[in-house]
Amino acid sequence: MTQPRWLDSEEKAAWNAFLEASHRVERRVEHHLREQEGLSHPQYEILVRLADEPERQLRMTELAESLLTSKSGASYQIGKLEKAGLVRRSSCPGDDRGVFAVLTEEGMAKLNRVAPGHVELVRSSLIDLLSREQLAALTDALDTVGRGLED
Amino acid sequence: MTQPRWLDSEEKAAWNAFLEASHRVERRVEHHLREQEGLSHPQYEILVRLADEPERQLRMTELAESLLTSKSGASYQIGKLEKAGLVRRSSCPGDDRGVFAVLTEEGMAKLNRVAPGHVELVRSSLIDLLSREQLAALTDALDTVGRGLED
DNA sequence: ACCGGGTTGTTCAAATTCGAACAACCGCTA
DNA sequence: TAGCGGTTGTTCGAATTTGAACAACCCGGT
């Protein structure tokens, strides 16, 4: 077998910075939403995805793909949100297998209530830490990565 | 209450790119290590951290902090690695509360065996997707974020 | 020597995640 | 219309993570 192409010091620095930043940010966001707003980050993201839809609804599979999570994970979280009254399940006309997750009025209200604090946290965790140039370069690089890893 | 400072489209793009890239990369790395090497990503990171130490050992608390995880999480994973023979626990001279996690020879051998495949995956998941300039800019931005979020 | 506040690591219950297995359904083809 | 490969969403068990609670320990001041 051929020699592995080891990472040089710059590449190692990039990888470590990536791991550290993503863990720290994720940890911070999760903790804030949990403590301050009573939502997990996945749950918040679900509300956002649904609110972005014209009909405020998404098929379970679409939702799972959008969240980059498993179908069972999406099913579990929708169950939680349903119990909390923020989302309801609705059958899908024309496809009896299908299930829509629909944002309720209460869910929309909850999102509107929670969003300002979340945005502030996103700012203090990422956006406001960087200059406009750094932010643009970050977006450029991470978009490239995201596109490169599309299924 | 004052108006929240909503994210403009560039800021939103940055946040979304950050979330998507970190999830996709984490998912890919986790999946690869699990399927190909029989280790979870946290477990792999533990082996790396220990191998980086001159004595190939770390106190439990230091390890947990290095991994950006909880103490109980570190304890759990060390338990797993101990059962697998890759790590052993050792008492800490001069502090009876302390516990060292020590990398065994077997653990070092496992790491050496796994590392090449992991490096290849890191390359294909991040490093090789970017130009040298993009990588440098990414590291700069993420280092800033990491430092900004240090406890 | 003894307290009292802080530290260390483990254990516990609860929450979450995943993949596999599954039943039900879809749509195309013969 | 009967069948068949593929899709959809849920359920299940197993693995993992977290914070709280806890026992044991450290150390500086008295």
B127 contacts on A by Cβ (under 8 Å): 7, 11, 14-15
Query: For residue A136, what pLDDT band results from cuts at 50, 70 and 90?
Result: very high
CB A148 within 8 A of CB B129: yes
Which nucleotide's C1' sits nearest to the alpha carbon of A27? D18
- Terminal Cα-to-Cα distance of chain A (whole angstroms): 28
Q: How far apart are alpha carbons B140 and A137 in whole angstroms?
A: 10
Reply yes or no on whether the pLDDT at A37 is more than 90: no
Output the pLDDT for position B90. Answer: 97
Output the pLDDT for position A36. Answer: 87
Output the pLDDT for position A4. Answer: 82
Output the pLDDT for position B118. Answer: 97
Reply yes or no on whether the pLDDT at A58 is more than 90: yes
Output the pLDDT for position B71. Answer: 98
Which nucleotide's C1' sits nearest to the alpha carbon of B77? D16
In a domain, A15, yes or no: no
Output the pLDDT for position A32. Answer: 96
In a domain, B94, yes or no: yes
In a domain, A65, yes or no: yes
Integer distance in angstroms from CA B98 to C1' D26? 11
In a domain, B110, yes or no: yes
A142 contacts on B by Cβ (under 8 Å): 14, 17-18, 20-21, 138
CA nearest to nucleotide D24 C1': residue: B97
Helix, strand, coil proportions of chain B in percent (round to 5)?
70, 10, 25
Q: How far apart are alpha carbons B118 and A149 in whole angstroms?
A: 16
Q: How far apart are alpha carbons B28 and B52 in whole angstroms?
A: 24
Query: Burial code of A120-143, b = ≥16 C-beta within 10 A, e = fewer?
Result: ebbbebbbebbeeebbbbbbbbbb
Look at B126 and A22 and tell me if their CB atoms are within 8 Å.
Answer: no
Task: Check whether residue A27 has its CB closer than 7 Å to nucleic acid strand D.
Answer: yes
Read off the CATH number of the domain in which B77 is found. Answer: 1.10.10.10
Output the pLDDT for position B1. Answer: 66
Residue in A148, A123, A51, A40 with CA at minimum distance from that of residue B134:
A148
Output the pLDDT for position B107. Answer: 98
Output the pLDDT for position A3. Answer: 76
Q: Concatenate the DSSP letters of all residues of A41-65 into one string.
A: HHHHHHHHHHHHSTTSEEEHHHHHH
Count CB pairs under 8 A between chains A and B.
163
In a domain, B82, yes or no: yes
In a domain, B7, yes or no: no
Search chain B and give the residue with CA nearest A18.
B142
Search chain A and give the residue with CA nearest B143.
A17
Q: How far apart are alpha carbons A77 and B5 in whole angstroms?
A: 29
Output the pLDDT for position B16. Answer: 98
All residue ranges of chain B with pLDDT < 70 are 1
In a domain, A113, yes or no: yes
Quick one: B108 exposed, middle or buried, by C-beta within 10 A (0-12, 13-18, 19+)? middle
Task: Check whether residue B38 has its CB closer than 7 Å to nucleic acid strand D.
Answer: no
> B76: domain range?
40-131
Q: B150 CA to chain A: closest CA distance, Å?
A: 8
In a domain, B141, yes or no: no
Total domains, chain A:
1
Q: How far apart are alpha carbons B103 and B118 in whole angstroms?
A: 19
Task: Check whether residue B125 has its CB closer than 7 Å to nucleic acid strand C.
Answer: no
Q: How far apart are alpha carbons B90 and B100 in whole angstroms?
A: 5
Task: Strand C: list positions under 7 Å from protein Cβ.
Answer: 7-13, 15-20, 24-27
Q: What is the pLDDT of residues A84-134, one digit of tens each?
A: 999 999 999 999 999 999 999 999 999 999 999 999 999 999 999 999 999
Look at B145 and A119 and tell me if their CB atoms are within 8 Å.
Answer: no
Reply yes or no on whether the pLDDT at A1 is more than 80: no
Reply yes or no on whether the pLDDT at A73 is more than 90: yes
